[in-house]
Amino acid sequence: MARKKNNYPLLEGLEITTLAAEGKAMGRWNEQVVFVPMTVPGDVVDVQIRQKRRRFMEGYVVNYVKRSPLRSEPFCAHFGVCGGCKWQNLPYEEQLRFKTEQVRDQLTRIGKIVLPEIRPCLASAETRYYRNKLEFTFADRRWLTFEEVASGADLEATPALGFHIPGMFDKVLDIDHCHLQGDPSNPIRLAIKKFCLDNGYTFHNAREHTGLMRNITIRTASTGEVMLIVVFGEGDMERIKALLDYLVAEFPVITSLFYVVNTKWNDSTGDLEHVLYHGKDHILEEMEGLHFKVGPKSFYQTNSKQAYELYKVARDFADLKEGDTLYDLYTGTGTIANFCARRCKKVVGVEYVAEAIEDAKVNSALNEIDNTVFYAGDMKNVLSDQFVAENGHPEVIILDPPRAGVDEPVLEVILRAAPDRIVYVSCNPATQARDLAILDADYEVVAVQPVDMFPHTHHVENVVKLVRRG
């Protein structure tokens, strides 16, 4: 028996009243929440519902009855199709205001703790071309927009080099110009695509698992250095060498050129050899006179300039003294640890990824910092009462966990270690709020500073300072 189709309603004249979590806008229809992407508060729209649940509905705009005065004109030709920069239609000041309110809502509603006045979200000095790393995907057939399909024109199935359509692993939108990363990102991507098309290179088909060209990653540094990683689906060394030689000759700005042969079904390359073809095996980032080596597998904040502002907030909140021992938990490649090391006696960094810890050690040596020590391993296994006893009582702990937040056993060890101050840097205020509720027994939140690392998106970083009660 065929599945019965749902007859979802068309809502006429729905007023969009606010922004919601995950970057969606919302209104209410007969007291039921309705989420509508690509709208802003003040819009009045006719909405075709495509998903209906007991507590909410979600749909898409079929007609604008009235456009909000808050609207901004999107600057990117791919807006609305590409999955990034979804808030281009919202003035930047409004984006910052909502991010501040998002932090306030999640800390109070989830954490249920007493808060000081939350500072306004710290704006990014650059709202375009701010990313230092982008990954692009090849596909043998580009994604056709709904407008193109509706036109009825006979459209040729041309290859693509761009971004995945949200939620579709095998659909790729061909990107003409991306406003996320500055030059030479766009020229390099377009040149690679043209060379491959001109020379008959096959593009990846994710369903059939065929095609030579799979991915490229472009990393740019504040020092002007550029890393390019080209991922191939086959070990055709003649074609690989031809493309890479072309790139070396055409783009002398590339200081580090790698290739990877990935014959797996998935796109992850962290477990594969990155072969250095030309130049250095790293690029250098600079921050306040410190230099950080970034290799092909290294993590570094993708908004370099705003990362500096974020780390300055964290360091100021830490209020380090000359004799302090600092624990930097979830240290990554030791950026915060090395950034703070010259203001205290000792820094102890802990990170799950062993390769990142090796990078952290290299970065300390590169900057002639000799008061850091780093440990690799699962945080809840490494951090223990014995670990604290062996490494010294921390006056300050900085937490910068992944989106999932801090494991409760780790929080329990922190509470027993009883540092004077805790600085919690989070990319997910919801899990941060959950963790703050546990720390609230012994610590008071005295400062909250949201930081915008990703303009034109709903994502927000948040830094919280806690001091020990009594």
The band of 150, judged by pLDDT with boundaries at 50, 70 and 90, is low
Q: Tokens 């062993």 sit at which residue?
A: 354
% the chain with pLDDT above 70: 96
pLDDT, residue 455, reads 97
pLDDT of residue 340: 98
Catalytic machinery residues: 427
Per-residue pLDDT band at 6 (split at 50, 70, 90): low
Give pLDDT, residue 154: 57
First vs last Cα of the chain: how many Å apart? 69
pLDDT for residue 57 is more than 90: yes
- Considering the domain architecture, whether residues 144 and 177 belong to the same structural domain is answered as yes
- Point out the least confidently predicted range of 57-66, 105-114, 166-175, 417-426: 166-175
Least confident range of 69-78, 136-145, 204-213:
136-145
Give the pLDDT confidence score for residue 149 in this predicted structure.
57
Q: For residue range 282-291, list pLDDT tens digits in order.
A: 999 999 999 9
Q: Do you know the residue count of the chain?
A: 470
In order of 320, 354, 446, the CA distances from 329 in angstroms are: 16, 14, 21
* DSSP per-residue string spanning 176-224: S--SSS-TTHHHHHHHHHHHHHHTTPPBPBTTTTB-SEEEEEEEE-TTS
111 pLDDT more than 80:
yes
CA atoms within 13 A on the CB side of 428: 11
pLDDT at 144: 72
On whether residue 5 sits in a domain, the answer given is no
Distance from CA of residue 210 to its chain's centroid?
29
Taking only the tens place, the pLDDT of each residue in 304-346 is 999 999 999 999 999 999 999 999 999 999 999 999 999 999 9
Give the contacts of 78 (CB within 8 A, at least 6 positions apart): 173, 175, 176, 178
Query: Residue 283 maps to which CATH number?
Result: 2.40.50.1070
* 54 and 110, same domain (yes or no): no
Residue 193 and residue 212 in one domain:
yes
- Is 297 a member of any domain? no
Residues 330 and 408 in one domain: yes
Evaluate if residue 16 carries a pLDDT over 60: yes
Residues 6+ positions from 247 with CB-CB distance below 8 Å: 188, 191, 192, 228, 230, 254, 257
Radius of gyration (C-alpha) of the chain in whole angstroms: 24
Do 382 and 399 fall within a single domain?
yes
Distances (CA, A) of 46 to 7, 36, 339, 378: 16, 10, 51, 50
- Same domain as 110, residue 197: no
Query: With 0-12 CB in 10 A as exposed, 13-18 as middle and 19+ as buried, what is 72?
Result: middle
Q: Is the pLDDT of residue 3 over 50?
A: no
- How confident is the model at residue 146, as a pLDDT? 59
443: in domain? yes
Residue 322 sits in the same domain as residue 456: yes
Which residue range(s) make up the domain with 27?
A: 10-66
Cα-Cα-Cα-Cα torsion 136, 137, 142, 146, nearest 10 degrees, comes to -60
71 belongs to a structural domain:
no
Nearest residue to 179 (alpha-carbon basis) of 457, 450, 461: 457
Residue 75 maps to a domain: no
Residues 158 and 276 grouped into a single domain: yes
pLDDT at position 80 = 81
pLDDT at 31 exceeding the cut of 70:
yes
Sign of the alpha-carbon dihedral angle for 307, 313, 314, 320: positive
Average pLDDT, the chain: 93
Look at residues 394, 399, 289, 410 and name the one whose alpha carbon lies nearest to residue 338. Answer: 289
- Cβ neighbors of 137 (< 8 A, separation 6 or more) are 161, 162, 163, 164, 172, 204, 214, 215, 267
Same domain for 313 and 462: yes
- Whether residue 376 is found in the same domain as residue 462: yes
Q: Please report, as a single letter, which amino acid is at residue 262.
A: N
**Angle 136-253-213 from CA coordinates, rounded to 5°:** 30
What is the reported pLDDT for 397?
98
The confidence score (pLDDT) of residue 324 equals 98
Q: Residue 450: which of 102, 156, 150 has the closest Cα?
A: 102
- Confidence band, pLDDT 50/70/90 cuts, at residue 83: confident
Q: Which pLDDT score is estimated for 4?
A: 45
Based on the fold, state whether residues 144 and 272 are members of the same structural domain.
yes
Number of domains making up the chain: 3
